[in-house]
Every structure is written in C-alpha cells, then in structure tokens.
C-alpha cells in the first residue's frame, strides 16, 4: 500500500467513498455494532524541546464500529461525518481480516493519488500568495 489508509479515507471525497463501500456491502455482510456517534476526542501533541507529551485540546469526531464476517472494524474521523465514519469502519474490518480484495487496494491507491494531487495544488496556490520582502524593500 502506497498511502496511509486512514489519511486517505478521511481526506477522499465522501461520494466516492460512499459509493465504493456500497459496492462492497453486496459481497460482505456488515453488521453495525455501534452507530456513528459524535464525540469529543483529546488531541495529543509533543513538546518539541522537552519531548514531553501533552494534551492540546479536544476535537469533535465521529466514531463507528461495525462487524464484517465476525471481524470488528472501527472508524474515526474529524467532524460530524456519520457516513464517513461508517465507511472507514467497514474498510477497516475488511483490511484487518486480511481480505485481499483487489478493489480495496485499487480504491485506496486511486484516492491516495487524488488526495496527493489536491494537496500539491493547494500548496502551489499557497506559494502564489507568498510575499517577497526583498522586492518590497527595493521599491
């Protein structure tokens, strides 16, 4: 796998993720153990000087737990996104079972490429807003 699965699933377009999981549901029986629910999750950070962990604060998240073929899957994403939380949980359960469905790997790689392109485009747009202070001094 070329990409961090969790990151790709949290950043990919929701309609693509939802459609993909719906196509998987016809092949794999999914049982919802815990419906998607909004909660607050503590965010850990590390002090760069002293290398000590501390809690930065809380972030609103959505979590969901499912079972696919007896294997638990857990989904957690930032924000109030019940559909995304469910979809992440289904894919998590399939990956932890060791199911080597080529559709899953293909989807993750395709969406990973898409997320990476989007980040590069955003970075390029950000660079365009950069101010060159040397040029400002010459005027």
Closest listed residue to residue 22, CA positions, set 108, 86, 73, 102: 86
Residue 137: the pLDDT is 63
Residue 7: the pLDDT is 93
- Does the pLDDT value for residue 55 go beyond 70? yes
- Does the pLDDT value for residue 59 go beyond 60? yes
CA 93 from chain centre, in angstroms, equals 15
Consecutive H or E run containing 102: helix 102-128
Tokens read off for 54? 């501390």
- Does the pLDDT value for residue 112 go beyond 90? yes
Tokens 């969406």, located at residue? 111
- Does the pLDDT value for residue 139 go beyond 80? no
Contact 53, 43 (CB under 8 A): no
Residue 113: the pLDDT is 92
At the topology level, CATH places domain 5-119 in: Double Stranded RNA Binding Domain (3.30.160)
Closest listed residue to residue 64, CA positions, set 104, 113, 30: 30
Residue 127: the pLDDT is 83
- For 113-136, the pLDDT digits (tens) are 999 998 898 888 888 887 777 766
- For 64-111, the pLDDT digits (tens) are 999 998 899 999 999 999 999 999 999 999 998 887 889 999 999 999
């Amino acid at each position: 796998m070329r990409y961090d699965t969790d990151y790709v699933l949290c950043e990919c377009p929701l309609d693509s993720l939802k459609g993909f999981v719906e196509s998987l549901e016809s092949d794999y029986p999914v049982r919802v153990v815990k419906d998607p629910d909004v909660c607050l999750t503590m965010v850990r950070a590390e002090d760069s000087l002293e290398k000590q962990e501390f809690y930065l604060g809380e972030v609103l998240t959505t979590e969901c737990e499912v079972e696919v073929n007896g294997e638990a899957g857990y989904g957690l994403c930032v924000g109030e996104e019940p559909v995304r939380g469910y979809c992440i949980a289904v894919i998590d359960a399939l990956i932890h079972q060791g199911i080597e469905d080529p559709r899953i790997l293909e989807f993750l790689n395709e969406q990973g490429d898409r997320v990476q392109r989007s980040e590069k485009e955003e970075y390029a747009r950000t660079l365009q807003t950069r101010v060159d202070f040397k040029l400002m001094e010459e005027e």
